[in-house]
A = this chain, B = another copy of it.
């Protein structure tokens, strides 16, 4: 496995061969590794990037304390059969102030975007830039960041990117907690409580499968019952899968998305119906 830090070294390492590409912010867990395994089924060469992208963090978010574990990440990626790791320093990717941005549509200001203004503009901009650097034949993203995946798919379509975006199922611990780099912020007590978020989503799913149709009421109740046990929920939302719009009556392709805080840690999760 090659570890490269510069755009020119990456382009030399790939030498025109097209690869399956998995962008990450590092702090890798088994969920990322399942993305690498999926990538290997799409191309002989797998490229992973590791870059904590300042553009997608708000001023009061955890950019500075976001975990950076490059050596351990590289060991895991080598074991997972990744060919090239691209880990640029900040001034390699942003040698000058980034003044060109990819501006996503209104859906980027809802859900995560409501609580993280500018987040998806930062995501779309860095991902497009990474795409131009790697020029992959396919790119893979986790469904854990469901709204991110939806927005990037829409970006790929609207900007006519010449390769597909693949979504990979969320990996969970045996108690249901979605794997996340931010899980390491949780105290032991919080870690025990954390699977409640997924259980809430499952209960909502079961209620809808059982015929419940007052989505706004379901969202409110789920949020209130979670918050009654010490969470602070940003949103629990039942949306249409395709574009994350509020579903109309009888819509069947749904996803339930949630973001909630446990102590200082903000967790997100979702479940497709």
CB atoms of B98 and A158 under 8 A apart: yes
List the number of copies, as a whole number.
Answer: 2
- Interface segment, A102-110, A179-187, A250-258? A102-110
What residues of chain B lie closer than 8 Å to A133, measured between beta carbons? Answer: 160, 162
Tell me if A194 counts as interface (CB < 8 A to partner B): no
Asked if A11 and B162 sit within 8 Å, CB to CB, the answer is yes
Please tell me if the beta carbons of B11 and A154 are within 8 angstroms of each other in the complex. Answer: no
Query: What are the residues of chain B within 8 A of A161 when measuring CB–CB?
Result: 132
Complex Cα distance A268/B162, Å? 35
Residues of B within 8 A of A7 (CB): 160
Asked if residues B103 and A101 are in contact (CB atoms below 8 Å), the reply is yes
Can you show 9 pairs from A to B with CB atoms below 8 A apart? A11-B162, A93-B160, A96-B157, A100-B104, A100-B154, A100-B155, A101-B103, A103-B103, A129-B158
Q: Which residues of A contact B (CB under 8 A)?
A: 7, 11, 93, 96, 98-106, 124, 128-129, 132-133, 135, 154-155, 157-162
